[in-house]
Chain A
Amino acid sequence: MARVLLFGRLADAAGWRERTVEADSLSALRAALTASDAQLGEALAGPGVQAAVDKTILRGDAPLTAASEVAFLPPMSGG
């Protein structure tokens, strides 16, 4: 289980910004999100989209707990 946050155009595309998802790893979370919304799954795997677990950007997989916060970040635009 993890708290999932979407930012920028990802939130617009999905129609939500925050949701709790049952998953025990980042790869399982991506699979669950893709299963419920194929378009979102594609957007999450798109160029420049980064994943942060507990506010640290990660490449590759990571275990998740009920307390984990996963954020999907599209390319940062600056202010």
Chain B
Amino acid sequence: MSVTLQAEPFEPGAVLTAFTAGRTETGAVASFTGIARAEAGAATALELEAYPGFTDIEITRIGAAAAARWSLQDWLVVHRVGQIAPGEPVVFVATASRHRREAFEACDHLMDYLKSRAPFWKKEHGPDGARWIEPTDRDRTDAQRWET
């Protein structure tokens, strides 16, 4: 159960290997890696701002709720902040449970939350300058799937 916000790039494979190690009662680990897109040259960098002490606490609260809902044994979120170049991982989520369905669904749910409602402010830098990005309609409807 951990949330890491970091400015430095990370290697998703190494994070997944460490998360998976030593689990003798975990039947399933699901993971997701989100990568910054170049948008065919339209995006030269992504800039993410977080509010330390607020953003991480909020993600921890959502993670704990997901862990209770899907009976997770463990979960982990790594999220970049600051300037992110196209091709670099932005976000990594891993979930561990006894069976695969819970791990898949909790991972999907956490990503929908992180993409639509988590306290980040996102700016896209391109050849024509920079613009702040608001959540898309698709992000909102994806997040609403979990409201039952």
A52–B116 Cα distance when bound, in Å, is 19
- In the complex the two chains form, is B134's CB within 8 Å of A79's CB? no
A7–B118 Cα distance when bound, in Å, is 14
Q: How large is the interface on B (under 10, 10 to 19, 20 to 34, 35 or more residues)?
A: 20 to 34
A71–B139 Cα distance when bound, in Å, is 25
Residue B107 at the chain A interface, CB threshold 8 Å: no
Residue B29 at the chain A interface, CB threshold 8 Å: no
A7–B80 Cα distance when bound, in Å, is 17
Q: A8-B49, A52-B54, A71-B51 are in contact. Are A79 and B132 (CB under 8 A)?
A: no
- In the complex the two chains form, is B51's CB within 8 Å of A77's CB? no
Residue B9 at the chain A interface, CB threshold 8 Å: no
Q: A7-B51, A55-B53, A55-B57 are in contact. Are A76 and B120 (CB under 8 A)?
A: yes
Partner of A7, one of B121, B133, B134: B121
Question: What 0/1 pattern do residues 111 to 127 of B give for CB contact below 8 A with A?
Answer: 00111111111110000
Q: A7-B51, A7-B121 are in contact. Are A79 and B135 (CB under 8 A)?
A: no
Residue A5 at the chain B interface, CB threshold 8 Å: yes
A76–B55 Cα distance when bound, in Å, is 10
- In the complex the two chains form, is A5's CB within 8 Å of B51's CB? yes
A55–B53 Cα distance when bound, in Å, is 7
Residue B12 at the chain A interface, CB threshold 8 Å: no
Please indicate the chain A residues that have their CB under 8 angstroms from the CB of B118 in the complex.
76, 78-79
- In the complex the two chains form, is B57's CB within 8 Å of A77's CB? no
Smallest Cβ distance from A47 to chain B, in angstroms?
A: 11
Smallest Cβ distance from A54 to chain B, in angstroms?
A: 10
Please indicate the chain B residues that have their CB under 8 angstroms from the CB of A12 in the complex.
132
- In the complex the two chains form, is A76's CB within 8 Å of B54's CB? no
Smallest Cβ distance from A71 to chain B, in angstroms?
A: 6
Residue A75 at the chain B interface, CB threshold 8 Å: yes
Smallest Cβ distance from A18 to chain B, in angstroms?
A: 12
* Contacts from B to A (Cβ < 8 Å): 34, 48-49, 51, 53-54, 57, 79-80, 90-91, 113-123, 132-135, 139
Could you name 10 residue pairs across A and B whose Cβ atoms are closer than 8 Å?
A: A52-B54, A55-B51, A73-B51, A76-B117, A76-B118, A76-B119, A77-B122, A77-B132, A77-B133, A79-B34
